[in-house]
Structure 1
Amino acid sequence: MKITLPLLLFFSFFNFSVHAQYESNITYGLKFGALHSSISNLPESIKGRDNTFDNSVMENKGTYGIEGGFFLNFKLHDTRVAIQPEILFRQSGEKITYRDALGKKFDLGLHYSSLQIGALYKLYPYEGLNFGAGVFYGINLSPNNVTYTSNEANGMYDVATRQFYIDGLEGTDDFALCFALGYELHSSIHFDMRYYLGVKDMVKSNASSFQFIENQNKSSVFCFSLGYSFHQW
């Protein structure tokens, strides 16, 4: 299964870190946050070769979602450096709005749930203030979760059109760089702001569709989260 390798890497790192406790101070906890996500170049992929989209406007709107899960924090002995592996559940995606000169309008939504596995390298320049950078691999758990609503014939054709987009656009796994700014209070409360920059095409245009053009559709996610550590350094 595609989930096996990322999980093996995570738990291998965890096992190594546990054996190195004499060199590290370890905390663990939970975090939960709200996010805004978008996927680049979707209008270009969707318009493709279909001439019925001439004289129209199609825009990315982005969508709001959540992110939360489990983290471990290994602070290296006698340093201001920590390594923080995480396993997170995320809901994200994109919303596309369309309108044309004839008055037709529709909203297309890609709603992805994913398991995010990754780690941050964190620096603590002053007390709980920290900066982090790392990588995350996202396993797409709902690659065909698509919504479609329109004003065409009072939505009579929405179900069939939604299936057309499900067949033509398939969500894939994601790989992203992460940049973080946070602060950790002495009461074990953590605040965290992050930007995830996708570096991999995460929407596959299936060859069975005559309309869509394969393009580089990369994720972009801003997230603010609150965490709690069960053990302090």
Structure 2
Amino acid sequence: MKVTLYVFIYTFFFTSSFYAQNQTNITYGLKLGGLYSGISNLPENIKGRDNSLDNSTMETQGIYGIEGGFFVNFKLHDTRVAIQPEILFRQSGAKVSYQDTVGKEFDLGFHYSYIQLGALYKVYPYEGLNLGFGAFYGINIAPNAISYTSNQFGGMYDVATRQFYQDGLDGTDDFSTCFALGYELHQSIHFDLRYYLGVKDMVKSNSASFQFIENQNKSTVICFSVGYSFHQW
């Protein structure tokens, strides 16, 4: 995490100095959008808990969330290039749905929240149309945000089972690459479509006594947002 913070700070100050030397146009603003996210290999983690799950079906489904925050856009003078550092809040995760042959059903939800730090390198091939590539480090501020609901005994034991999963599985920080397609209007409004691809394990299995299997659980996020740039600095 420290390395990512250093990179973010370096990018910010490097582009600031570039502004002083090259009269870079700098704007800042806010953005907010909706997203659809998923986490890979969750059934493989959970099936280690109970061998009877072999006679069951367990599927991972994506969930909806939000992403929004603050950005600074550094457009380099006399170029079609910009660097855009961002600080964002994100809610994302996934849901696992289980069914077996005796009628047991449950939904296990992973509802993580992150502070995202990162930056995009953006190219403007035509007017406000832009393509971006970058990386973001997500600090997980809700590592135990797991929900559990079942059809067993009217949900009598759902609280205890949820605690079992919360004790056995921890959400960790996330690191992802980002690919973006956007368009900026002259009225300071811009639209942004992004795809985030996680590159590190972001769910940790705790003590072996929980019988969970450790896997590489990586995130995927598709996000569409609307932003507003206030003015130039």
Q: Report TM bin, short chain.
A: over 0.9
Alignment of 1:40-79 (within 5 A): 40-48=40-48, 50-79=50-79
1:10 is aligned, of 8, 12, 23, to 8
SS in 2 for 1:16: helix
Q: Which position in structure 1 is the counterpart of 2:156?
A: 156
How does the TM-score come out when normalised to structure 2? 0.95
In the alignment, the residues of structure 2 paired with residue 227 and residue 178 of structure 1 have an alpha-carbon distance, to the nearest angstrom, of 17
Q: Please state how far the C-alpha of 1:77 moved relative to its aligned partner.
A: 1.2
Aligned letter for 2:9?
F
In the alignment, the residues of structure 2 paired with residue 206 and residue 188 of structure 1 have an alpha-carbon distance, to the nearest angstrom, of 47
Q: Please state how far the C-alpha of 1:11 moved relative to its aligned partner.
A: 3.4
SS in 2 for 1:48: helix
Q: Which position in structure 1 is the counterpart of 2:32?
A: 32
Deviation track 1:148-192 (CA, whole Å, cap 9, x = no partner) reads 000111111111111110111100000000000000000000000
SS in 1 for 2:210: coil
Aligned letter for 2:129?
L
In the alignment, the residues of structure 2 paired with residue 5 and residue 131 of structure 1 have an alpha-carbon distance, to the nearest angstrom, of 26
In the alignment, the residues of structure 2 paired with residue 227 and residue 159 of structure 1 have an alpha-carbon distance, to the nearest angstrom, of 40
Aligned letter for 1:96?
V
Measured on the aligned residues, the alpha-carbon RMSD in Å equals 1.5
Q: Please state how far the C-alpha of 1:62 moved relative to its aligned partner.
A: 1.0
Unaligned runs of 5+ in 2: none
Deviation track 1:112-135 (CA, whole Å, cap 9, x = no partner) reads 010000000101000000000000
In the alignment, the residues of structure 2 paired with residue 15 and residue 209 of structure 1 have an alpha-carbon distance, to the nearest angstrom, of 48
Alignment of 1:53-202 (within 5 A): 53-202=53-202
Alignment of 1:190-229 (within 5 A): 190-229=190-229
Aligned letter for 2:32?
F
Unaligned runs of 5+ in 1: none
> Is the CA contact 2:202–2:217 (under 8 Å) kept in the aligned structure 1?
yes
SS in 2 for 1:201: coil
In the alignment, the residues of structure 2 paired with residue 7 and residue 175 of structure 1 have an alpha-carbon distance, to the nearest angstrom, of 12
SS in 2 for 1:27: strand
In the alignment, the residues of structure 2 paired with residue 5 and residue 122 of structure 1 have an alpha-carbon distance, to the nearest angstrom, of 22
In the alignment, the residues of structure 1 paired with residue 7 and residue 26 of structure 2 have an alpha-carbon distance, to the nearest angstrom, of 19
> Is the CA contact 1:195–1:223 (under 8 Å) kept in the aligned structure 2?
yes
> Is the CA contact 2:15–2:83 (under 8 Å) kept in the aligned structure 1?
no
How does the TM-score come out when normalised to structure 1? 0.95
Deviates more, 1:11-20 or 1:43-52: 11-20
SS in 2 for 1:231: strand
Cα 1:110–1:209 shift into 2, 3 Å: farther
In the alignment, the residues of structure 2 paired with residue 65 and residue 99 of structure 1 have an alpha-carbon distance, to the nearest angstrom, of 25
SS in 1 for 2:231: coil
Q: Please state how far the C-alpha of 1:33 moved relative to its aligned partner.
A: 0.4
SS in 2 for 1:125: strand
Q: Please state how far the C-alpha of 1:15 moved relative to its aligned partner.
A: 2.9
> Is the CA contact 1:167–1:209 (under 8 Å) kept in the aligned structure 2?
no
